[in-house]
Amino acid sequence: MKLIFEKSINGRRGIQVTPSDVPTSINIKSEFLRQSSAELPQLSELDVIRHFTELSRRNFGVDTNFYPLGSCTMKYNPKVCERIASYPGFAHLHPLLPQLRMGGMLTQGALQMLYETDLLLREITGMAGFTMQPMAGAHGELTGIMIMAAYHRDRGNRKTTVLVPDSAHGTNPASAAIAGYKVVSVPSSERGVMDVNILRNFVNNEVAGIMLTCPNTLGLFETNIREICDLIHSVDGLTYYDGANLNAIVGKARPGDFGFDIVHLNLHKTFATPHGGGGPGAGPVGVKEKLLDYLPVSIVVKRNDGTYALEYDRPKSIGYIAPFYGNFAIILRAYVYILMLGKDGLKRVAENAVLNANYIREKLKKYFPLPYDDLCKHECVFSVSEKMLQNSIHAIDIAKALMDKGFHPPTVYFPAIVKEAMMIEPTETESKETLDAFIDAMIEIARLAETDPDKLKSAPITTPVSRPDETAAAKNLNIACL
């Protein structure tokens, strides 16, 4: 398929710009002007629409078919959320308005939404207050670690390390390192969870805190979570909850009750805001009472007269981590979703997410080895069998074969502690028929992997490209058409 630049025709125009209606045309001093115009495409509107329509047909979304990417929670994105985000009353609001005198009164609806979302998230997670500013999960992680650091500085604690399990998502150690901490990896037990006795060896006065997700990245619930949190608290460390896996427990249990001091949520995962091909997301961070002072500014408060305002005067705050109030239109979508689900709906989310995952786990465990054959939560991790490996079939080949069956593959090669990992997270919005079709496809692939591997080696054959050369991409580094 051609690049959009390759379709350009000199003189072709897309949008007709409204002609000027002012009498003056300014000729800026030529030393300040560019020598030649930017070589942007010259196309008609039809050309552009066709180009992107063609591109969209080379893409796969939740709207297309089953998308069981473990750790990503690819659930259905309600269309009403898209409609509401486009209401002019939200879309056309300039972010600087509240910074004008009397400007807060111009944005009461927006402030009310942010405030109510804070309250709803507190209730869902058991935390005392939220910042809506972080613009993605990893951004939330960095914010949370910065809050951790501010707390320790304030108390005069000398802390240098942050603990993470060896199964942690890469953003955890990356965020802690960027915030200036040394990261220490704690090995998981043979059951795949964190063992308190192993952890004890790593806990000392230098530990600022621990970053965990629960259930963990293997989809297993950390049954000793209270003990783990208590152990960290015993050295005045803080416990951080990576909310990527909240879909497993939302409406049933609260990380605040497990003993977590800081929590981030991925609105684009648990709260159904769209993934966008890689964002935009939102990663609000909630904290327990003892950390409220450190939250970033500004915070939306409700005054005694019932109006909403932005509060900036927080001397211990870690400052601004976003230009304004967070990814407003994403938070808005999550707010709508929570309102639609309500108390019962949220509970059913976790119940069906866990049911769907265990259904797949039980039905596929005869065909693919299950490194940890325990009750799972919202996702399960498989590996490939010895026979498959002998036939040179790896997780990547299983993934490619699934594409020809019309499914998006699960996450592969994560978490790294499982060889040839395939992490399947169906989510609660998938139907039994879809799951059964996926299970049938996987069983067929397992059979081929053991008896007729060549068929899999040539997969995928139904997609626009097949097994692109990633090594050549890294060596040639053609990353722009200039």
Partner 1 sequence: MPFISNTPDQQKQMLAEISLTMDGLFADIPPELMCSTFNLPAGLSEQQVRNHLAELADKNSTNLICFLGGGFYDHFIPAAVYSIISRGEFYTSYTPYQPELSQGTLQAIYEYQSAICRLTAMEAANASLYDGGTAMYEAMMMTLRITGRNKVIIDDSVNPIYRVMIRSYTRNLNIELEQTHSADGLANRQQILQKIDDKTAAVILQNPNFFGCIDDFTDIANAAHQKGALLIVSCYPISLGILKTPGSMGADIVTGEGQSLGMPMSFGGPYLGFMATRMQYVRKMPGRIVGETKDRFDRRAFVLTLQAREQHIRRDKATSNICSNEALCALTALVYLSLLGKEGLKQTAQLCADKASYAYQRLTAIPKVKPHFRAKWFFNEFVLDLPSEAADVIARLIEKGFAAGFPLSRYYEGMENSMLISVTEKRTKQQIGMLAEALESVL
Partner 2 sequence: MIAEGLLYTKDHEWAKIEGSTATVGITDYAQQLMGELTYVELPAIGKEFRVHDEMAVVESSKSASDVYSPVTGKVVEVNSNLESKPELINDDCYGSGWICKLAITDANSVENLMNAKQYEEYLKGL
Site string for partner 1, 99-138 (x = CB under 8 A): xxxxx--xxxxx-xx------x--xx-x--------xxxx
Q: Specify the residue for token string 């059979």.
A: 447
Q: Are 308 and 300 in contact (CB under 8 A)?
A: yes
Per CB under 8 A, 100 contacts partner 2:
no
Segment interacting with partner 1, rule: CB under 8 A, options 205-213, 231-239, 385-393, 399-407: 399-407
Site string for partner 2, 144-163 (x = CB under 8 A): --------------------
Site string for partner 1, 412-431 (x = CB under 8 A): --x-------------xxxx
Per CB under 8 A, 196 contacts partner 1:
no
- Give whichever of 203 and 254 is closer to partner 1, judged by the CB atom: 254
Q: How far is the CB of 25 from partner 1 (least distance, A)?
A: 5
φ, ψ at 262 (rounded to 5°): -135, 140
Q: How far is the CB of 299 from partner 2 (least distance, A)?
A: 40
Q: Specify the residue for token string 């919202």.
A: 378
Q: How far is the CB of 94 from partner 2 (least distance, A)?
A: 43
Residues 6+ positions from 337 with CB-CB distance below 8 Å: 78, 81, 271, 272, 273
How many angstroms from the chain centroid is the CA of residue 111?
Answer: 24
- Give whichever of 340 and 387 is closer to partner 1, judged by the CB atom: 340
How many angstroms from the chain centroid is the CA of residue 460?
Answer: 27
Q: At what angle do helices 395-404 and 432-451 cross, to 10 degrees?
A: 120
Buried b (16+ CB within 10 A) or exposed e, 364-384: beebbbbbbeeebbbbbbbbb
Q: β-strands 262-264, 422-424: how paired? A: unpaired
* Long-range contacts of the stretch 296-299 (C-beta < 8 A, 24+): 296/131, 296/133, 296/143, 296/320, 296/321, 296/322, 298/325, 299/129, 299/131
Per CB under 8 A, 35 contacts partner 2:
no
CA angle in degrees (0–180, nearest 5) for 162-164-168 = 145
Per CB under 8 A, 455 contacts partner 1:
no
The one among 236, 314, 345, 369 contacting partner 1 by CB under 8 A = 345
From partner 1, partner 2, none, interface partner of 131 (C-beta below 5 to 8 A by class): none
The one among 352, 372, 382, 395 contacting partner 1 by CB under 8 A = 352
Q: At what angle do helices 328-364 and 432-451 cross, to 10 degrees?
A: 50
The one among 190, 305, 313, 470 contacting partner 1 by CB under 8 A = 470
Q: Are 165 and 213 in contact (CB under 8 A)?
A: no
CA angle in degrees (0–180, nearest 5) for 329-332-335 = 160
- Give whichever of 155 and 475 is closer to partner 2, judged by the CB atom: 475
Q: How far is the CB of 151 from partner 1 (least distance, A)?
A: 12
Per CB under 8 A, 362 contacts partner 1:
yes
Per CB under 8 A, 20 contacts partner 1:
yes
On the 0-12 / 13-18 / 19+ scale of CB atoms within 10 A, 337 is: buried
The one among 66, 68, 70, 77 contacting partner 1 by CB under 8 A = 77
Site for partner 2 in 420-479 (CB under 8 A): 470-471, 473-475
Per CB under 8 A, 38 contacts partner 2:
no
The one among 186, 291, 310, 330 contacting partner 1 by CB under 8 A = 330
Site for partner 2 in 381-420 (CB under 8 A): none
Alpha-carbon distance of 268 to 427, in angstroms, equals 13
Per CB under 8 A, 95 contacts partner 1:
yes
Per CB under 8 A, 64 contacts partner 1:
yes
From partner 2, partner 1, none, interface partner of 290 (C-beta below 5 to 8 A by class): none
Q: Are 450 and 391 in contact (CB under 8 A)?
A: yes
Q: How far is the CB of 477 from partner 2 (least distance, A)?
A: 9
Q: Which of 365, 366, 383 is nearest to 375 (CA)?
A: 365
Residues 6+ positions from 173 with CB-CB distance below 8 Å: 162, 164, 183, 185
From partner 2, partner 1, none, interface partner of 352 (C-beta below 5 to 8 A by class): partner 1
- Give whichever of 235 and 329 is closer to partner 1, judged by the CB atom: 329
The one among 191, 200, 226, 303 contacting partner 1 by CB under 8 A = 226
- Give whichever of 325 and 451 is closer to partner 1, judged by the CB atom: 325
Which residues are near partner 2 by CB under 8 A?
470-471, 473-475
